[in-house]
Amino acid sequence: MTTAIHVSGLRKAFGDKTVLDGIDLEVAAGTVFSLLGPNGAGKTTTVNVLTTLMRADAGTVRVAGHDVNSETKAVRATIGVTGQFAAVDELLTGRENLQLMADLRRVADGGRVIDRLLERFDLAEAAPKLVSTYSGGMRRKLDLAMTLVGDPSIIFLDEPTTGLDPRSRRTMWDIIRELLADGVTIFLTTQYLEEADQLADRIAVLDQGRLVAQGTPDELKRLVPGGHVRLRFAKPGDLDAAARLFAGSTRDVESLTLRVPTDGDTESLRVLLNQLHDNAIAVEDFSVHTPDLDDVFLALTGRTNVELTK
Amino acid sequence: MTDSMIMVRRNVKHVVRNPTTVFNAVLFPVVLMLMFVYVLGDAFDVGENYVDYATPGLMLLAICYGLSGTSTAVASDMTKGVINRFKAMDVSRGAVLSGHVSTTIATNLIAVAAIVGVAFALGFRSPAGFLDWLGVLGLVLLTSFATAWLAVALGLAAKTVEGAGMATVPLIMLPFFSSAIVPADKMGPGIKQFAEYQPFTPIIETMRGLLAGTPSAGNAIAAIAWCVGLALVGYLWSTATFKKRA
């Protein structure tokens, strides 16, 4: 396994506000790495440092084996960056934007490369039109297409689907999966847990400038108690009775609900329902939840409003 | 093809797509010329045919009018994500800026040519020889180069595109407080001294001398010194601001 991106002890502050407080991470070549975090966690700052747009205050960053500070040129020649806001030239047509990239990257046979990208991103029809007439989704697609000119081996995508409608988001996901199949390494930031879960081989959770967890989606899900059954009751008395019955359950008095940990198989569910029946506890509503990254995120960042029963 | 050439081509396309900026840069000086020469010209006593007097000044005015387009184009580049794309690619740092400078010089040449054309139509006559005209062209290029770097710096320093447009207004007003329209010694106290010592006056006087066939070495040296100085200030200011705005 070769390392595409290696970061250790990365720190960055703006004035006296610390944005990145000692980040360590490693991305294997040919994988999707997702940096997950809420707004203001430091995702874009991380991308800016990794893509040579910003200098870190401390720490080392190596991209494709090159140091971002001392071998900036080599890093820039290897990477492709798609920022949070579409970096397209509005006064040029779609094709001209791609041509500009092909010229700057000195791509031989630019015309064919451009045709292929236009085809792949479903932009062939819009190619002769000025980008100022494009929709948000089309701009994003063109933006990514521009990033791909010259076949960069490491691609940084900073919140590539923020603000896209669900359909465009699916299209973007498909494109990212295709890139991965081509052997490209992808560093993706997102605030959508589902996106990280869908795409990433490894996820790092960033919160207030620190990585609070790192691992595969499955590893992260294992960090939180497994799945649970959610029970809603009509009366507080029933809630109390059920809470006494199931050790380790968490209750929410306000909504009269109880979360009971379970591994989710049918046998344990049958036992649970039997226990409720035997104790004559009436359940208004019953649902089974498998753990998702939402649970992980809430558990890791400490921002959860669930109260644990003693 | 160098990065700068690629950027020039990009900027030329912008100009072609958005012709109002060139239109302004060419049309407004021409309208001013018609105003001053046709409407007001007879009221000025400059000791010679007014169109002969005013043409060099209006050529400089034409250069200055093109600058707001440069500043706004630079500012709009900086406020959009596209600049980050260039920065994260291995694109030569100066190329983005020198592309704007080259495009400015090109539009300035068009505007100055239009002014000279209209001047001839209005009865402008010059005894200048080929070398004198070559000198005029050289000075137009040098002035355009120097002021374009200043305009680029103003565009980089501005926070918004609108702010960039406003920032060039002093540059556009400066020719009016020079010997462009009337001789400096006809102005009131204070303004007169300002007009005599500001950079555009020796530039205009040099052109005036060349076009009258009586070039003055003193003015030419001052003009070239001012241009080199302004270009240097503009260039250093631009590169420093560009670096700071990540």
A146, A88 Cβ separation under 8 angstroms: yes
The answer to whether position A301 is within a domain reads no
Q: Do the domain assignments include residue A306?
A: no
Quote the pLDDT of residue A292. 66
pLDDT given for residue A34 in this prediction: 95
Contact B14/A91, CB-based, under 8 Å? yes
CB B216 within 8 A of CB B205: yes
Q: Is residue A127 part of a domain?
A: yes
Tell me what pLDDT residue A308 has. 33
Please report residues of A whose CB lies closer than 8 A to that of B99.
Answer: none
* DSSP annotation string for B16-75: HHSTHHHHHHHHHHHHHHHIIIIIIGGG---SS-HHHHHHHHHHHHHHHHTHHHHHHHHH
pLDDT at residue A307 greater than cutoff 70: no
Residues A231 and A145 in one domain: no
Q: Which parts of chain B sit beneath pLDDT 70?
A: 1, 246
Same domain (yes/no): A214, A229:
no
Q: Where are the domains of chain B?
A: 3-244
3-state secondary structure string across chain A: CCEEEEEEEEEEEECCEEEEEEEEEEEECCCEEEEECCCCCCHHHHHHHHCCCCCCCEEEEEECCEECCCCHHHHHHHEEEECCCCCCCCCCEHHHHHHHHHHHCCCCCHHHHHHHHHHHCCCCCCCCCEHHHCCHHHHHHHHHHHHHCCCCCEEEEECCCCCCCHHHHHHHHHHHHHHHHCCCEEEEEECCHHHHHHHCCEEEEEECCEEEEEECHHHHHHHCCCCEEEEECCCHHHHHHHHHHCCCCEEECCCCEEEEECCCCHHHHHHHHHHHHHCCCCCCEEEEECCCHHHHHHHHHCCCCCEECC
The 8-class DSSP code of residue B185 comes to: G
CB pairs under 8 A between A and B: 58
Rounded distance between C-alpha atoms, residue B73 and residue B12, angstroms: 11
Write the CATH number for A55.
3.40.50.300
Whether A270 is covered by a domain: the verdict is yes
Helix H or strand E encompassing B126: none
d(CA A103, CA A113): 12
Which chain A residues contact residue B96 at CB under 8 A?
none
Gap between the Cα atoms of A123 and A95, Å rounded: 9
A187 and A94 in one domain?
yes
- A23 and A160 housed in the same domain: yes
pTM of the predicted model as reported, rounded to 2 decimal places: 0.78
Contact (CB<8Å) A100/B89: no
Residue B214: alpha-carbon gap to chain centroid: 24
A154-158 and A250-252 as β-strands: parallel, antiparallel, unpaired? Answer: unpaired
Give yes or no: residues A19 and A136 share one domain. yes
Position A304 in a domain:
no
CATH of the domain at A229: 3.30.70.100
A212 and A250 share one domain = no
pLDDT digit string, tens, across residues A11-41: 999 988 999 999 999 999 999 999 988 888 8
Does residue A188 register a pLDDT over 90? yes
Based on the fold, state whether residues A182 and A101 are members of the same structural domain: yes
Which of A218, A249, A278 is the last residue in one of the domains?
A218
Whether the complex's predicted ipTM surpasses the cut of 0.95: no
The per-residue pLDDT for range B213-222, each reduced to its tens digit, is 888 888 889 9
Residues of chain A in contact with residue B17, where contact means CB-CB under 8 angstroms, are: 91-92, 130
- Nearest residue in B to A47, CA atom: B88
The residue assigned the tokens 């900086």 is: B78
A115 with A262, same domain: the answer is no
Q: How confident is the model at residue A304 (pLDDT cuts 50, 70, 90)?
A: very low
Say what the pLDDT of residue A47 is.
Answer: 93
A60-81: per-residue pLDDT in tens? 999 999 999 999 999 999 999 9
Q: Same domain for A204 and A259?
A: no
A→B interface, C-beta within 8 Å:
48, 51-54, 73, 76-77, 79, 81, 83-92, 96, 100-101, 103-105, 130, 146
Instruction: Name all contacts of A110-118 with Cβ < 8 Å and 24+ positions apart.
Output: A110/A149, A113/A149, A114/A149, A117/A145, A117/A148, A117/A149, A118/A94, A118/A145
Q: Say whether both A96 and A118 belong to one domain.
A: yes
C-alpha A245/C-alpha A240 separation (Å) is: 9
Count of domains forming chain A: 2
CA-nearest residue to A132 within chain B is B17
A297 domain-assigned: no
Per cent of chain B over pLDDT 70 is 99
d(CA A68, nearest CA chain B) in Å:
11
Domain that residue A257 falls in: 225-290
Q: pLDDT, tens digit, for every residue of B45-97?
A: 777 888 888 899 999 999 998 898 899 989 988 888 788 888 888 787 788 89
pLDDT in the model for residue A100: 93
Burial of A125 (0-12, 13-18, 19+ CB in 10 A): exposed
B-chain CB neighbours of A91 within 8 Å are 13-14, 17-18
